[in-house]
Every structure is written in C-alpha cells, then in structure tokens.
Amino acid sequence: MKHKVFKKSSDFYEPYILIAPLIILLAVFILYPVLANIVMSFFKWNGIKKPEFTGLENYREMFKDQKFWGSLKNTGVLILYIPLGVILPIIVSAVLREGLKGWPFFRAALYLPNILGYVIMGSICNIVFKKIGPLNNILSFMGIEPVDWLMKSKTALNSLGFVYGVWLRLGFGCIFFLAAMSGIDEQLYDAAKIDGAKWWKTFFNVTIPSIRFSIEFWVVLSFIEVLARAFSFIYTFTNGGPGFATFTLEYGIYTNAFVSFKMGYASAWASVLFVLCAIIAVFQVRLMKKDAE
C-alpha cells in the first residue's frame, strides 16, 4: 500500500522535477531581466550612481520625445516589407521544390547571408550601397544615374527594409518553407495534375493551404525579427542615419542606454518594445489554438 502511494506521489512530482532546470533558466535569464527592466523604467539612473525613483517621469519624457515617435514610424515602415519577405521565400521555395536544375547551388547561395551573420552582412551592404560603391557602379554601367542610397532618408530606410526584411532572410525562409513543403502529400499534387491544374492554381490551392501553419509562424517570427533583432544589422549598415532616418525603437534603446547613459529612460523604451512583442506572442498563441480546433 505504501509502495503504491509512493509511486503515485513520485509520478505526480516527476514531470515538475524534469522541467525544473528549464523553469530555473527561464526565470533567471528571461523573467528576472524583464521584471528588472520594468522596475528600472521608474528610476533615473546613469549606470553608475545610485538609482533615483522618478515614477512615471521616464514615460512622460518618452511620449514627448520626437525620436521615440520617429522610431515607431521607422519601425512601421520596416514592418510594411514583411508581406514581401513572406511571399518571396514561399514562391522561390515552390520553384526550387519542382526540381530546378542546380537548385542545391541556389539554395546554398541564398543561405550564405545567414551563415555570415548580421554584423558582417551589414558591413558588406554598407560598402555595396555607398555612393561610389559596387551597386552604383553597376547602375552607371547601365546608363542609370547613381543614387545616394544611404545619405537620403527615404532611400536609406527603404534600402534597410528591403535588404533586412526581404533579401537577408530569403535564404532561411527558403530552407524553412522547403522543409514545410516536404511534408505535403504528393498525391495532392498528382490529383491536381490529373485535374489539369496549372502551376499557379496548384500553388494557391494545394501548397499554400498545406503550409498555412508554417506561414503564420513565419509572419510572427518576421515581426519579432523587425522589432527586436535588427539592431546589429542597422548599426553596421546605416548606424541609424542619415540623421534619425533608420532610427528604430530597438536602436533607440541602445543609444539611450549606452550613448546617453540614461538607463532608466532606455528601460522605458524597452518596456514598450516588450509590450509590442508580447502582443505578437499572444496573437501567435491564439492562431495556434484556432488551427488546433
């Protein structure tokens, strides 16, 4: 009898014991920093002296700061490139899946930027997009007037949006969607061929519905990438310029904290970024539940 009771109690606690290391890691490296950041947003602190409690002063200053609203606007422009950053990898993946000659080479070439990383790619793109860089040399050879890509606000921001939001993530997107398409039942494609469906009809009626969950996940991941993972690329590509043309919310957190040494104010910016990411995460969970039902 005692053995049965002990077995039942051990069965009850065993799952919690197994996940305890993960919970501890999440608490130490995610939960605590998030809570500490929110608390610090109510203080004035330069990173050295003792923090001074100021209540909502950091938030009042933030909502009056034109840089803050400009960063939200710039981030919004980058978000507009997400649809293209989703559609293009899907189309390329569908083409590669058909057995395009030499497709392993194309797959490797597309994935190369992901291997090099954001910092290296940002430095390379900075050279390519300079006024006397390779891109303008090609345009001049074609008889097109060179463009000052990184010294004009609109061209700099849109160049950043296309390179980071579309081209830089094209390789990983192709690998991701190729993996998703590999799970599609070939009989569906065979049935479409028998019905006389052309490539585009098969693409929209078979491929897209079959990888719907993967597309939803990629959209959410793209939002997170734009909101919270673009700093290293922006820093090496445009350095937030010209002026504040490519100054995003994430970049503002860095400059406020480590350039202006306004840690509390930077924490207020980070709290806004956390809320935006949390909203996207909740949206993703609801989508997953909807698909499960």
Q: Which domains does the chain have, with CATH numbers?
A: 2-40 (no CATH), 60-292 (1.10.3720.10)
Rounded CA Rg of the chain:
24
* Helix or strand holding residue 53 (H, E): strand 52-53
For range 118-146, the mean pLDDT: 90
Phi then psi dihedrals of residue 183, to 5 deg? -90, 0
Query: Quick one: pLDDT at residue 112?
Result: 81
Say which range, 92-106, 156-170, 242-256, has the weakest mean pLDDT: 92-106
Contacts 24+ apart (CB under 8 A), 37-44: 37/267, 37/270, 37/271, 37/274, 38/267, 38/271, 38/274, 40/263, 40/264, 40/267, 41/264, 41/267, 41/268, 41/270, 41/271, 42/264, 43/264, 43/267, 44/262, 44/264, 44/265
pLDDT over 60 at 145, yes or no: yes
**Chain centroid, CA 232 distance in Å:** 12
Torsion of CA 110, 112, 114, 117, to 10 degrees: -150
For range 234-238, the mean pLDDT: 95
For range 131-148, the mean pLDDT: 88
Say which range, 8-12, 58-62, 117-121, 182-186, has the weakest mean pLDDT: 8-12
pTM value is 0.87
Phi then psi dihedrals of residue 10, to 5 deg? -70, -35
> Please, which pLDDT band fits residue 185 given cuts at 50, 70 and 90?
confident
- Tokens representing 255 are 């400059």
pLDDT over 60 at 3, yes or no: no
How high does pLDDT run on average in the chain? 87
Per cent of the chain over pLDDT 70 is 92
- Peptide bond preceding 242 in cis form (omega within 30 of 0): yes
Name residues whose C-beta falls within 8 Å of residue 80's C-beta, 6 or more positions apart in sequence: 161
pLDDT over 70 at 293, yes or no: no
CA–CA gap between residue 224 and residue 214 (Å, rounded): 15
- Tokens representing 129 are 């997009």
Contact 18, 232 (CB under 8 A): no
